[in-house]
Amino acid sequence: MSGKWMRRRTFGLWLGCALVAALGATGVARAQVVVIANGSPITELDIAQRSKLMAAGAHKAPSRQAVINELIDDRLKIAKGKYYGLEVSDKEVDNAFNNMAQRQHMSAAQFDQVLARSGISPSALKARLRAQLIWNQLVRGRFGTSLEVADADVANALRKADAAASVAGYVYTLYPVTVVVPSGSPPGVVDAKRREAENLRSRFVGCDAGVKLARGLRDVAVREPVTRTSADLPEQLRDVLAKLEVGRLSAPEATPQGWQMFAMCSKKETTADSPAKREMRDKLYNERFEAESKKFLEDIRRSAMIEYKR
């Protein structure tokens, strides 16, 4: 009995040691340094995380070398930024992360969960954002003048694109109106509030009387008016306002605060700026930014110390 117990105990100790060794080996492998770029190490874990990030964005698995190249570029961008005294605070990185979540109509916590389900650590995404933020500052600071897009450049590009350079835009005066839905409300309440919003919309005729009516209703918030050009607005809202009559409310849209609508109280045509001009200006700026960015990064890579460890 004693011998059998000893054999079991010996087997248990061996199994435990084997598991610890295996787990330790896995941890060491994941922490294994693959490349050193200007003194900054890139590990197997870095590569695994960035590979998942790139796959999520491109909807296909990138090559291992493509992943390593992007990580090297990030290390070089951050190092060059530090050389010029440029650094990005954790708060700025968190703000960029939160903005990404908002564009997906999620909170930061919900975005964390989505990343976790894909096996991506939020810190891996934030590392990528940090490099992007530093690099954007660096390129804009170094090539600011050459990146500027003149009105004549926009007009010429529009003509070449066979678009009218004088395409009119609009200047809108809008009152944001929200039928407030308490957080955590059950579907029945949410639907009831939507019907209230639709009812208000049908009764809203003319801004003077309509705004006064809305402000007198319970659980309805009317913010101060804002003035925006059509070029400043997202395409979806621009399309909605293009079909909306002055003095009327737009259809209710769900937001975290409740059902939001916009009262259009003024709509004036303008040729100073338009969606077509703004889009072309952004396109030309991005093309120049990418061209200068590519050349600058190539110069940095030529003088960088990149050592492959395995």
Give residue-wise pLDDT tens across range 25-64.
445 455 799 999 999 999 999 999 999 999 988 888 999 9
Query: Residue 6 has what pLDDT?
Result: 43
CA atoms within 13 A on the CB side of 8: 5
Nearest-CA neighbor of 182 among 254, 252, 256? 256
Nearest-CA neighbor of 278 among 192, 193, 163? 163
Helix (H, G, I), strand (E, B) or coil at 267: strand
Please enumerate in sequence order all residues whose Cβ is within 8 A of that of 52, keeping only pairs 6 or more positions apart, or say none. 118, 119, 120, 124
The whole-angstrom separation of Cα 238 and Cα 242 is 6
Q: Architecture of domain 169-270 in CATH?
A: Roll (3.10)
Distance of CA 125 to the CA centre of its chain: 11
Query: Residue 46 has what pLDDT?
Result: 95
The whole-angstrom separation of Cα 41 and Cα 32 is 9
- Fold classification of 31-146+291-308 is Triger factor/SurA peptide-binding fold (1.10.4030)
Residue with tokens 């999620």: 106
Query: Residue 9 has what pLDDT?
Result: 45
Q: 51: part of which helix (H) or strand (E)?
A: helix 44-58
Q: Do domains 31-146+291-308 and 169-270 have the same CATH topology?
A: no
What is the reported pTM? 0.60
Long-range Cβ pairs for the range 248-255 (8 Å, 24+):
248/201, 248/204, 248/205, 249/177, 249/200, 249/201, 249/204, 249/210, 251/201, 252/179, 252/194, 252/197, 252/198, 252/201, 255/178
Question: What's the sign of the alpha-carbon dihedral 210, 253, 122, 70?
Answer: negative
Distance of CA 20 to the CA centre of its chain: 41
The domain locations on the chain are 31-146+291-308, 169-270
Per-residue confidence at 2, pLDDT binned at 50, 70, 90? very low
Helix (H, G, I), strand (E, B) or coil at 50: helix
Each residue's pLDDT tens digit, 159-173: 777 654 445 678 889
- CB 270 within 8 Å of CB 166: no
Among 3-12, 39-48, 167-176, 235-244, whose mean pLDDT is lowest? Answer: 3-12
